[in-house]
Amino acid sequence: MKIENSITETFNNLIQKNEKALIGYVVGGYPTLELSMEIIEQLIHSGVDIIEIGVPFSDPMADGPIIQDAFLKTLNSGITPRDCLNLVKTIRERHKETPLLLMTYSNILYSNGLEKFLIQSKDCDIDGFIVPDLNFEEADDYLKITSKLGLATVFLTSPNTSTQRLRRISVLSTGFVYMVSVFGITGSRNKFEKYTFESISRSKAIVSSYRKHLAVGFGISTPKDGQRMIESGADGIIVGSSLINIIKKNENDKSKMMVELDIFVKDLKAICKGPN
Amino acid sequence: MKNNTDLGKFGTYGGRYVPETLIPALEDLDKWYQRLKVDKSFQHELRGLLLNFAGRSTPLYYANNLTKQLGGPRIYLKREDLLHSGAHKINNTLGQALIAKKMGKTRIIAETGAGQHGVATSIASAAFSLKSEIYMGAKDVERQQLNVFRMNLLNSKVHSVHSGSKTLKDAINEALRDWIANFQDTHYLIGSVMGPHPFPSMVRDFQSVIGTEIKEQMHKLTGKLPDAVIACVGGGSNAIGSFYPFVNEKKVKLIGVEAGGQGIRTGFHAATLSKGRMGIFHGMKSYFLQDENGQISEAHSISAGLDYPGIGPEHANLSDTDRATYPHITDKEAVRAFVQLSKLEGIIPALESAHAIAYIIKNAKNFKKDETVVVTVSGRGDKDLQIVREYLSETEEGIQKKRQTKGIGHT
């Protein structure tokens, strides 16, 4: 079954303009609910094509210290998954076009009943999910319910994922496939090794044969990083920890935070738009 | 199309919930394990190590004095405390280190709470000349300086983990993060029957030597099966090791004793099966202590080895299917049992194992006199002397005792 969703639409529109997608990750409710709303608006305004909202979890296995700290701080301030859903709802009212994805660990999805959480999410107009610790082998229920509700499912792939697995991942992903650039967790890297770029090229060939898009994330902190990902075949790039870093650094100076986010996003967006 | 597999499932529990990068690493490990499990030379090598290095088999000791005092069933103690390193953990670390060696890995990482699994991992790594790094919560590093020194002495590097609650669960998170980055040359030596498949089955198989010996020894001593097998449960490795060979012997009661901490109504406990609910964490589906939103809670127990907010998936299934029961024992009851076993039998049990002892002390009256129960003493109590000493000095019982000592000393 094929789900035509706003994510696919966004990618298709970008392709027509010969552009790549810029996907921005923020932590829902960080540093505060109000401010995270303004941050998301700023990101959209500055050129982010797809917003990924991280639901804070006590034990984020795939995340580095920057996101861990943001999660901890957010949880300590009392933010709940429900708050994140409401955040999506509010943004959706103002931005009909921008795809909004929730990135959440499995336990948040399952702990109060998978179907219940997915229905609540749908009611808040979420487009889909990225679940970093859910593999397709364990995802039958998740796939059944998301498909019924018309929610996109973005699965992750890694440089060491076999071709056979990547084929399944491509089939089961709606919107795009999220490629983890490195063997490691989220957070900026000083440099990427050759295997990252080779894997992007290899994965792109497989993913695109299923008419899906490949977005690459983990560790992208400069436009140059992004450019090399795109040159290797990525249809989109995902930035997270770098954004959180800017937010954290300027927690007490909102206008400076917004200016720096604007500059950073515009630089990356320029890379996504290509050399013309 | 159905994607789900039955791989590593215990009922609906278990499975593999990890970042994609670890899937090939787990598949590789599983492949190696399935092959070595039936490989005669591997089994021979492991048996030799258990015999000559770890000191197996361990005795099954009839606790005459305890039996007499309680006036209940005949109590037998499975003496895992007599193993090299002082606990059952080494059954597993030797097995996994041998697998890692065969796989060509050069580096071992492990998590540890109080340090027992860290020490057992360090011993196995040293024996196999593998580089070893241990993740330990910053709070535990603070509380267990001596074990940190012990691990260093055994050539391990200890990483103090400052994220999250700075305890065991965070040490596991950090070890998993390390493994994601370094799986190519590194084996993650998980210390209990938890984590993603194949760990719960593999660790169970290595620990099942406990139950297998119990069965043989009981047969020799009494000519029959025990009526009950009792063991403490944190992640649940000594318990599943004790239970597994009896799972199909439906007449044998299996009792896993969880840590009730300060009481399961206080919120300060580690009674996962009593107070937790189904969740997905540390790579597996099982029961976890968590809040109403699915955030993992901190566990509390006087015994660091039981201080974990989850439980192995096979136990979750044994509990759901009523094949085993999982009562809980408080800190106070465990400390009393610690003292009582020391006095009566000349055996100082680990605080973890003291929970299992406490259960039979509390429930001896529910058994008939001609019944036999086996209690697994998973480790020795030397590591807990300081904790028990402090605990006793802070409680009324302790104060009473102090007075007595003083009185005797001065007359």
- The reply to whether A186 touches chain B by the CB within 8 Å rule is no
HEC readout, chain A: CCCCCHHHHHHHHHHHCCCCEEEEEEECCCCCHHHHHHHHHHHHHHCCCEEEEECCCCCCCCCCHHHHHHHHHHHHCCCCHHHHHHHHHHHHHHCCCCCEEEECCHHHHHCCCHHHHHHHHHHCCCCEEECCCCCHHHCHHHHHHHHHHCCEEECEECCCCCHHHHHHHHHHCCCEEEEECCCCCCCCCCCCCHHHHHHHHHHHHHHHHCCCEEEEECCCCCHHHHHHHHHCCCCEEEECHHHHHHHHHCCCCHHHHHHHHHHHHHHHHHHHHCCC
- Is there a catalytic annotation at residue B111? yes
CB contact under 8 A, B20 and A184: no
Determine contact, residues B15/A138, Cβ cutoff 8 Å: yes
Q: Which of A102, A112, A137 to mutate to test the interface with B (most CBs of B within 10 A)?
A: A137
Q: What angle do CA B112, B113, B119 make, to 5 degrees?
A: 45
CB contact under 8 A, B19 and A61: yes
pLDDT, position A121:
97
Q: What's the Cα-to-Cα distance from B187 to each of B55, B64, B129, B182, rounded to whole Å?
A: 25, 44, 14, 9
pTM above 0.90, yes or no: yes
Name the one residue in this structure whose structure tokens are 């995902």.
A238
- Is there a catalytic annotation at residue A125? no
Q: How far is CA A25 from the centre of its chain?
A: 5
CA distance A256 to chain B (A): 29
**In A, residues 45-64, which contact B (CB 8 Å cutoff)?**
57-62, 64
pLDDT digits (tens, 9 = 90+) for B283-303: 999 999 999 999 999 999 999
C-alpha A200/C-alpha A180 separation (Å) is 9
**In A, residues 257-276, which contact B (CB 8 Å cutoff)?**
none
CA distance A85 to chain B (A): 13
Q: Which residues is B223 bridged to in the sheet?
A: none
pLDDT digits (tens, 9 = 90+) for A92-119: 999 999 999 999 999 999 998 999 999 9
Domains of chain A: residue spans and CATH: 21-269 (3.20.20.70)
- Is there a catalytic annotation at residue A52? yes
Whole-number mean pLDDT of chain B? Answer: 94
Return the minimum-mean-pLDDT range out of A146-160, A218-232, B310-324, B395-409: B395-409
pLDDT digits (tens, 9 = 90+) for B244-284: 999 999 999 999 999 999 999 999 999 999 999 999 999 99
Q: What is the average per-residue pLDDT within B5-31?
A: 94
C-alpha A133/C-alpha A129 separation (Å) is 12
Q: What is the DSSP string of B63-105?
A: -HHHHHHHTSSEEEEEEGGGSGGGBTHHHHHHHHHHHHHHTT-
Q: Does residue B120 carry a pLDDT above 70?
A: yes
pLDDT digits (tens, 9 = 90+) for B228-249: 999 999 999 999 999 999 999 9
